[in-house]
Structure 1
Amino acid sequence: MLQPLLHDLVSTVMAPASALSGPDGQIRQAGVQGLFRADRRVLSLARLLVDGREPEAVGHAFAGAGRTRFVSLARWLGDPTADPTVRLDRMRELGPYGMDEHIEIVSTASGPVTATVTVELACDFAAIDDVKSGRTAVLPAAPRPPATTGPTAVAALAGEGRLSWRSEGTQVTVTGHGAGTRAGARACLTWEVTLPPRGRTTLSWSLAVHDAAAVVVPATGPLEWSEPRVTADDRRIARLLDQALADLRSLRLAEPAAPGDTFLGAGVPWFLTLFGRDSIWAARMLLPLGTRLAAGTLRVLARRQGERLDPHTGEAPGKIMHELRRNAFTLGEQDRRLPAAYYGTIDATPLWISLLHDAWRWGMPHAEVQALLPALQAALGWLAEHADPDGDGFVEYIDVGGRGLANQGWKDSGDAVRFHHGGQAEPPIALAEVQGYAHRAALDGAALLDAFGMPGAARWREYAETLAERFRAAFWVDGAQGRFPALALDRDKRPVDALTSNIGHLLGTGLLSRKESAEIAALLTAPGMAEGFGLRTMSSGDGGFSPLSYHCGSIWPHDTAIVLAGLAREGFDAEAAALAEGLLAAAESFGYRLPELYAGDARERVGRPMAYPAACRPQAWSAAAALTIAHAALGLYPDVPEERVLLRPLSGAALGALTVGGLRVGEHEVEVNVAHDGSATVSGLPDGMRLVHAEAAATR
């Protein structure tokens, strides 16, 4: 069974609900099409017919967060002319508890138009992992037996114009306003329509879901980040930010017991739930717009922080979890089954520590940071006691239970960790970027311990220093293109010598010397890694490379954004600008909604980026990458506790003149302007905040 493809589908999202349809707006009983909510498909068919025929699609357009317009024609109706005279505008709008559709029928015909309009409906209550694996099954009580093709649920009449479906505590109710109804496995709503000459009418139906077992719910309260105001020479920046922030608005989630603590669901359709690593990175990228999202994400993950050792779930004391589901999640193979609350991630814990630190620097309120210090100490305890199971001084992972994820870094596919010749590494695996995360987390943890008068900071600074020395001795290899850190160490402590994007995550962690950073910057922006639309996950010179490999040759926007942010922070401006240009070019090609990933073909070969056919869209960290591009260009780096702001924009206005208002430093709204000549100014900083320009900082 093959995973269904996504690249030619249209997604409309308002978390925890998402609708996937064809470009014509039709939801058909095929692949991953349907309306999903909290890991279940609550509508598997929504097909619009006019006189028993499907209208002919013209196009579609996103109409804001949770809204999509689909335009089609009924050319057999109206005047017998070359120009169509009957048009249908199908506006789909998702809310947190369901979906509404408004079908506007407009006639410009000279005579009356009469038609029967039908919406066919079905519901199968399929589990998201069954859909992802190419299976379709009604969700039975856990534990589930091996999945087989399951029947469609039968709709019952629920009153005038109403239909309902029920399964395992979930109820779906459809109301057709003014419609006739037919129940059964394939239900329908029907309207008889008569339009006068040049007339119009609007038909409406709505779907509501009641699901008491959902583990995620809509976020409540106002938006957690500010709305930036952008003026840019390069208009792609503003267009990308507009679409990205609309998508991020639609991905906001919370847990039922704490609806006020918002986090971002990772992506549509497979990952619209809490993911430690993804939610942390997205919140970190959005810090220039405020700390509220980071604070909510930190608290949600702290409440689920590990308390005991459990090889089945991957839980360990102090560890930050990987993902949360309503049921155990079956991977492609039946012997791989993740528990509903799964901790199989090696990097979420150090990333959590650094998110807390960065949010504190951006101005997260003192009391909120202080409340999370016990979770910080527990996370540092995991780093000290459980992150290095074989005692070699490196952070590593192995799936002890044998049924979880084989790879537990951000490149978590089974074949992601490969040698230069293409062979796969055997666990336990110590990933390069995870050593950088651990180094940064140790220094960040030390800074927080010192600031809040807690003991242990010296221990963590010594840990970071020792880790850097070990890394320098064990990871660096000589390749055909030069010297660089290996992707990982395998079980025999051999360097996994493929050239990959992972090493770009080391920039800005403090693990590297200036010379080492320069070597990495040069290699990552050379043709083998960056001749496409962003940064490849693996060099085209490596044996495992394929432009359509999930983690060995494709391009991930968030990965490219993390690396370009590190390049900018360390002063490799031209290299950072080149990667930013690649993402902007890709964004233009994808209608400014960057997907989870896309193919790593060279530009000269394809001219535009090719879709990765199973990529999620929207994806939280891909959308958040838009802000990282703008932030790197502006170069605003605050330290609110020290009452200091560093300003270091990309030199020479590398992305053109750019002004962004609505940024937040603490509780204050600020604006940064980068002029055509590269000079930069900041307005709106709080009284007493000292502004330090990059040139002055370099001499300190």
Structure 2
Amino acid sequence: MDAPVKAHDGFAEGEPPPPLQPFLHDACVSLAAPSLCVSGPDGAIRGGADGFYHGDRRLLSHLDATVDAVPMAPLGAATLPDGETVFRTVLRGLAEQTPDPAVVLERRRTLAPGRLTERYTVRNAGGLSARLRLTLTAAADLSTMEQVKSGRPAAAWPARPLPDGARWSDGAVTGTLTLSAPPDERTVEAGGAVTLAYDLHLRPGTAWTVVLRCDAEHRDGDLFPAPATGTRWWSVPAVSGPDHRLAHWAARTDRDLRGLVLSDPLRAQDVFLAAGAPWYLTLFGRDALWSARMLLPLGTDVAAGTLRTLARRQGRADVPRTEEQPGKILHEVRRDEPGGPRAGGLPPSYYGTADATPLWLILLHDAWRWGMPDAEVEALLPHAEAAWNWLERYADADGDGFLEYADSTGRGLSNQGWKDSSDGIRFRDGRPAVPPIALSEVQAYAYEAAVKSAALLDAFGRPGGERRRGWAAELRERFRARFWVEDAAGRYPAVALDGGKRAVDSLASNMGHLLGTGLLDPEEAALVARRLVGPASGMDSGFGLRTLDAAAAGFNALGYHTGSVWPHDTAIAVHGLVRQGFTEEAGRLAAGLLGAAEQFGYRLPELFAGYPREEQPRPAPYPAACRPQAWAAASCVLLLQALFGLEADARAGSLRHAVRVPPGFEGVTLRGVRVAGRTFALSAAADGTISLHEG
């Protein structure tokens, strides 16, 4: 996904401070893709990233409730299982005869695609009557998400008053605010805001309610609409056991992922997971593919929808401006807003990614193994051929046998793996790697894609399988010869090769992505496991893997890709460790990530700070992280798959599992696992041994 907005290097005295990306770490986020609402913990929408958004446009930039001359004391927020969020605020001093609060303003928020609804209720539980003036203030700037993210929001848009509310529209997008009861006073301010005031007289034991609704509409319709309501695309991951945290995390994962589902307007039945809220509530190739792959133990519908949605947008021509190439899977899609390319310089449909294409091939194979129908898989094989042709003809631009990338536009992403910030790939001494860059994990994905696409060709009676296996074997040997480096602690795989074919010698979490792909032999896998989780490792923060070793010159615990912890990154390493037989190391990382999930209320953010657990008993947030975020949420399912060692073979009708769960996870039961229409449950006994039951 797009790298974060960079901060300034300093500014001269007297100059205004430069715009900064808004922080989100204490925000309350409600989600019903393609809509979301971001507010403060008290429910107020006051600035920064706060707002009601639909399809990457901000329909409300301000929405606040105040009571004249009355101190207000927020009590906090609670999110109910149905997604409704309740905010309560004490109106201090009103109707009070004792120190107990008497009058409370309750704000109940519900979100549906294209609609924000807020129910304001003032309750008087005191023994005296209460008189008050409640004022609702609303404004809209109609900013694009890119403007908000860059810290450069648009000015407030003039409000058009309506008998029961107000409307804001720039012709492309319209927001309409309506109230269930007319206000006693309405004022449209010169700056574009509208104030709506109610004079209330509440006798003891009574309450008053008004319902506010804001409806959003894009003139050209939604880029990716919400799917049909009432549909489920995966089974509920039901977890039980002595440690209740896994159950809470799985339940929250299910709710958050349902809020991130979007559909393909070209075929409404095909759904995928938007990358994350608020910055990335759209189609991202890499994120959607990884998230769908993580969900496979619960069903293949999301995987099938993701594969087809991306296949329809697969590259067909060589277009340097967008980095499109024949067979290539795209990076992201945004709405083509007026004014041309977005502030970051990226075109609306952008193909600057080195890993989405091999990941698409891997997902096609894995979805087939988990039960995606043969006919649906076979229909995608022509797209698989095109993807493979891209790997062979375009991905290796200089012919050295490795997949590499370089931004050819001057406006695209300088790094095009999952660590796509400009400083994400650097040497151990802090120097940035110069492109073209060949990432270690991209070689692993390509190896796995070659082997797995060969298996698909064999299964569907098509030629070419042996050639791809030969290609993979040669890549494996080239990788062994060029990527492995050594320091005082021994050998390890470099994070990348730079443009001069020098090994970029950082100790980085990317090496965890190599595990379980087949690229490493057992001895090499053991070396990687020791570097990730060994006693002298600077990678394990105690809450998950740091993206960069703590001893590296460029380490920053709050660096986006240079020391922070990404939950999906750790979960991928846990899964790989289990596949390579390192269950104890996997259990240690899994326990750390579970501890982090608990501290974040089981809604893990996109990333968090990489401070050591010994110094920071609660993980510190990365202030601008998405939350929820698809692959952070889905990492719970991948973790469960890893704990039980699940591997499916739908053609054989089998579900294989490990002999026992890693230490610390004894007694866990997982229900809802699906393989080709059959449902399974797995239980770990007190000694960790696993049993499998159908139904």
Q: TM-score, normalised by structure 1?
A: 0.93
Is 1:133 the counterpart of 2:157 in the alignment?
no
AA matched with 1:210: E
Aligned to 1:622: 632
The 5 A counterparts of 1:233-632 are: 233-327=242-336, 336-526=344-534, 527-632=537-642
- Return closer, same or farther for 1:329/1:559 CA change in 2, 3 Å cut-off: farther
- Of the three residues 164, 179, 184, the one matched with 2:167 is 164
Aligned to 2:16: none
Is 1:34 the counterpart of 2:48 in the alignment?
no
Aligned to 2:209: 202
Task: Work out the CA distance in 2 between the residues paired with 1:87 and 1:324.
Answer: 44
Aligned to 2:33: 15
Aligned to 2:195: 188
Is 1:217 the counterpart of 2:225 in the alignment?
yes
Q: Does structure 2 conserve the Cα–Cα contact (< 8 Å) formed by 1:529 and 1:537?
A: yes
- Deviation of 1:115 after TM superposition, in Å, equals 2.1
Task: Work out the CA distance in 2 between the residues paired with 1:377 and 1:329.
Answer: 36
Alignment RMSD, CA only?
1.8
Task: Work out the CA distance in 2 between the residues paired with 1:135 and 1:76.
Answer: 40
Q: Does structure 2 conserve the Cα–Cα contact (< 8 Å) formed by 1:7 and 1:611?
A: yes
- Of the three residues 82, 85, 88, the one matched with 2:102 is 85
- Deviation of 1:188 after TM superposition, in Å, equals 2.5
AA matched with 1:636: L
Task: Work out the CA distance in 2 between the residues paired with 1:472 and 1:341.
Answer: 36
Task: Work out the CA distance in 1 between the residues paired with 2:172 and 2:73.
Answer: 38
Judge which range, 492-501 or 657-666, deviates more. 657-666
Task: Work out the CA distance in 2 between the residues paired with 1:243 and 1:592.
Answer: 6
- Return closer, same or farther for 1:270/1:357 CA change in 2, 3 Å cut-off: same
Give the 3-state SS of the residue equivalent to 2:614 in structure 1.
helix
Aligned residues: 669
Give the 3-state SS of the residue equivalent to 1:8 in structure 2.
coil
Judge which range, 640-649 or 536-545, deviates more. 640-649
Task: Work out the CA distance in 2 between the residues paired with 1:328 and 1:575.
Answer: 48
- Return closer, same or farther for 1:124/1:53 CA change in 2, 3 Å cut-off: farther
Q: Does structure 2 conserve the Cα–Cα contact (< 8 Å) formed by 1:330 and 1:338?
A: no
Task: Work out the CA distance in 2 between the residues paired with 1:432 and 1:79.
Answer: 66
- Return closer, same or farther for 1:36/1:652 CA change in 2, 3 Å cut-off: closer
Aligned to 1:74: 91
Judge which range, 650-659 or 487-496, deviates more. 650-659
Is 1:2 the counterpart of 2:20 in the alignment?
yes
Structure 2: gaps spanning 5 or more residues: 1-18
Task: Work out the CA distance in 1 between the residues paired with 2:342 and 2:651.
Answer: 50
- Deviation of 1:80 after TM superposition, in Å, equals 3.8
Q: Does structure 2 conserve the Cα–Cα contact (< 8 Å) formed by 1:599 and 1:611?
A: yes
Q: Deviations over 1:125-158 (max 9, x none)?
A: 0011111111012xxxxxxxxxxxxx31111123
- Return closer, same or farther for 1:529/1:550 CA change in 2, 3 Å cut-off: same
Give the 3-state SS of the residue equivalent to 2:538 in structure 1.
helix
Task: Work out the CA distance in 2 between the residues paired with 1:256 and 1:207.
Answer: 24
AA matched with 1:501: S
- Deviation of 1:48 after TM superposition, in Å, equals 0.7
Q: Does structure 1 conserve the Cα–Cα contact (< 8 Å) formed by 2:71 and 2:92?
A: no
Give the 3-state SS of the residue equivalent to 1:46 in structure 2.
strand
Q: Does structure 2 conserve the Cα–Cα contact (< 8 Å) formed by 1:65 and 1:247?
A: no
Q: Does structure 1 conserve the Cα–Cα contact (< 8 Å) formed by 2:606 and 2:626?
A: yes
AA matched with 1:119: L
Q: Deviations over 1:515-543 (max 9, x none)?
A: 10011001101331113310010111211
Q: Does structure 1 conserve the Cα–Cα contact (< 8 Å) formed by 2:22 and 2:49?
A: yes
Q: Does structure 2 conserve the Cα–Cα contact (< 8 Å) formed by 1:61 and 1:68?
A: yes
Moved over 3 A (4+): 181-184, 328-334, 649-654
Q: Does structure 1 conserve the Cα–Cα contact (< 8 Å) formed by 2:667 and 2:686?
A: yes
Aligned to 2:60: 43
Q: Does structure 2 conserve the Cα–Cα contact (< 8 Å) formed by 1:649 and 1:674?
A: no
Give the 3-state SS of the residue equivalent to 2:539 in structure 1.
helix
- Deviation of 1:401 after TM superposition, in Å, equals 1.0
Aligned to 1:152: 156
- Deviation of 1:54 after TM superposition, in Å, equals 6.6
- Deviation of 1:194 after TM superposition, in Å, equals 2.6
- Return closer, same or farther for 1:281/1:53 CA change in 2, 3 Å cut-off: farther
Q: Does structure 2 conserve the Cα–Cα contact (< 8 Å) formed by 1:48 and 1:54?
A: no
Q: Deviations over 1:284-341 (max 9, x none)?
A: 101111000111111100000000111110100010000010136999996x500000
Q: Does structure 2 conserve the Cα–Cα contact (< 8 Å) formed by 1:176 and 1:189?
A: no
Give the 3-state SS of the residue equivalent to 1:302 in structure 2.
helix
Task: Work out the CA distance in 1 between the residues paired with 2:487 and 2:85.
Answer: 49
Aligned to 2:13: none
Task: Work out the CA distance in 2 between the residues paired with 1:218 and 1:650.
Answer: 41
- Deviation of 1:463 after TM superposition, in Å, equals 0.7
AA matched with 1:16: P
Q: Does structure 2 conserve the Cα–Cα contact (< 8 Å) formed by 1:60 and 1:69?
A: yes
Q: Deviations over 1:210-254 (max 9, x none)?
A: 113331211225121111221122111111111111111111111
- Return closer, same or farther for 1:307/1:389 CA change in 2, 3 Å cut-off: same
- Of the three residues 116, 119, 124, the one matched with 2:141 is 124
- Of the three residues 54, 63, 68, the one matched with 2:80 is 63
AA matched with 1:153: W
Q: Does structure 2 conserve the Cα–Cα contact (< 8 Å) formed by 1:636 and 1:649?
A: no
Q: Deviations over 1:55-111 (max 9, x none)?
A: 321111122354221111101311242110011221111100110001222211112
Task: Work out the CA distance in 1 between the residues paired with 2:566 and 2:531.
Answer: 18
Q: Does structure 2 conserve the Cα–Cα contact (< 8 Å) formed by 1:14 and 1:66?
A: no
AA matched with 2:205: R
- Deviation of 1:650 after TM superposition, in Å, equals 4.6
AA matched with 2:166: L
Task: Work out the CA distance in 2 between the residues paired with 1:52 and 1:154.
Answer: 28
Judge which range, 426-435 or 127-136, deviates more. 127-136
Aligned to 2:124: 107
Is 1:658 the counterpart of 2:668 in the alignment?
yes
- Return closer, same or farther for 1:649/1:404 CA change in 2, 3 Å cut-off: farther
Task: Work out the CA distance in 1 between the residues paired with 2:425 and 2:118.
Answer: 45
Q: Does structure 2 conserve the Cα–Cα contact (< 8 Å) formed by 1:653 and 1:676?
A: no
- Deviation of 1:439 after TM superposition, in Å, equals 0.2
Question: Identity over aligned residues, as a percent?
Answer: 47
AA matched with 2:236: E
Task: Work out the CA distance in 1 between the residues paired with 2:71 and 2:418.
Answer: 43
Judge which range, 319-328 or 302-311, deviates more. 319-328
